[in-house]
Structure formats: structure tokens, C-alpha cells
């Protein structure tokens, strides 16, 4: 098969007839297949991680989810709003604090139902569960994002609610 090749130089553009390139070009490989496969896997990995959301945006979303969960917890436990605001401030500021509480069986059931409905109806909670558990790549499988999810109040609260009822639980 013969082709005309377009050749461009800084001074002149012209067509040339180079039949020997048709014979050699299809069979030339610059690297072995093994090396090309390794390069392709690296490129695929970089594409995989380049589509991830920023850690700051994920933390901000988790803070909004934590605020909502904290408000629901305050409503279930009947805590005054001033006390909830103080706890929410510490939560937003990432302060280290311990919060002990005990829930009766009806309170546990009500809180679990509230959180389940929140996944469907509360915007931030829905987005958080979607990006961590549904959307590909699942952020729960990526170590730097997994800790954000596990340390979030939603995950800790769900863990508390679905385990055996302790007398006191640390959150």
C-alpha cells in the first residue's frame, strides 16, 4: 500500500511519496508490551485518583453532616439548645471532648429511624453516603478518605445504635 505523507517544515509545506514507511511503521514498537502495560496501568491509576474530590470539600461536607446528626441527637435526648450549641462548636472546631450518654430502647429506635430517613431526605447526609458508599470510586476504600468517614458523627452514631446496648458509650 502506498501513501502520500504531508511533510511540514518551517519554510515549506509539501507532499512527499515515501513507500518504505508503509512497510516499516506498522511493525515498529518503541517499547516491549510488558513496559507498555505497566505505563498504561500507571496512567489508569493517575486518572482514578485525579477524579477524587478535595479533602477540604469532603471534610466540609462531613462537618455539615455532623451538625445535623448533633441536632437530631439533641432532640432525641431532650437537651437544651444552648448545650447543643456548645457541643456543636467544639465539634466544628475539632476539639477533643468526650460525650457520655445513654439511650433507652425507644430513643435508640427513634434515632435510628431519624438517621435512616436523613440519608434519604437530608441533602448533606445523602451526598456524604453517596460519595463514600455508592459513587465509583468509593471513597470508603481510599485510606485518606476512610478516616474522615469513620471519624464522622454519623458513622459513630450508627455503630452505637446497631450494636448491643451498652450502659454508657463513648462518642
Helix, coil or strand: residue 39: helix
pLDDT for 94 equals: 58
Segment 123-164, tens digit of pLDDT: 999 999 999 988 888 888 888 899 899 888 898 888 888 886
Distance CA(101)–CA(171), nearest Å, equals 9
- The domain ranges of the chain are 4-50, 55-170
Mean pLDDT along residues 11-26: 49
Q: Is the pTM of this model over 0.75?
A: no
Segment 46-72, tens digit of pLDDT: 666 667 888 899 999 998 998 898 888
Identify the H or E element spanning 25: none
Amino acid at each position: 500500500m502506498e501513501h502520500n505523507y504531508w511533510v511540514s517544515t518551517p519554510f515549506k509545506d509539501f507532499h512527499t511519496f515515501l513507500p518504505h514507511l508503509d512497510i516499516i511503521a506498522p511493525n515498529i514498537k518503541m517499547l516491549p508490551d510488558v513496559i507498555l502495560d505497566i505505563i498504561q496501568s500507571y496512567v489508569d491509576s493517575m486518572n482514578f485518583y485525579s477524579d477524587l474530590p478535595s479533602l477540604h470539600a469532603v471534610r466540609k461536607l462531613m462537618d455539615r453532616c455532623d451538625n445535623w446528626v448533633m441536632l437530631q441527637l439533641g432532640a432525641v435526648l431532650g437537651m437544651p439548645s444552648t448545650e447543643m450549641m456548645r457541643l456543636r462548636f467544639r465539634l466544628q472546631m475539632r476539639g477533643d471532648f468526650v460525650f457520655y450518654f445513654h439511650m433507652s430502647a425507644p430513643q435508640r429506635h427513634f434515632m435510628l429511624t431519624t438517621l435512616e430517613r436523613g440519608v434519604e431526605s437530608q441533602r448533606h447526609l445523602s451526598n456524604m453516603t453517596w460519595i463514600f458508599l455508592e459513587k465509583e470510586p468509593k471513597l470508603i476504600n481510599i485510606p485518606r478518605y476512610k478516616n474522615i468517614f469513620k471519624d464522622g458523627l454519623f458513622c459513630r452514631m450508627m455503630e452505637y445504635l446497631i450494636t448491643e446496648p451498652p450502659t454508657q458509650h463513648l462518642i
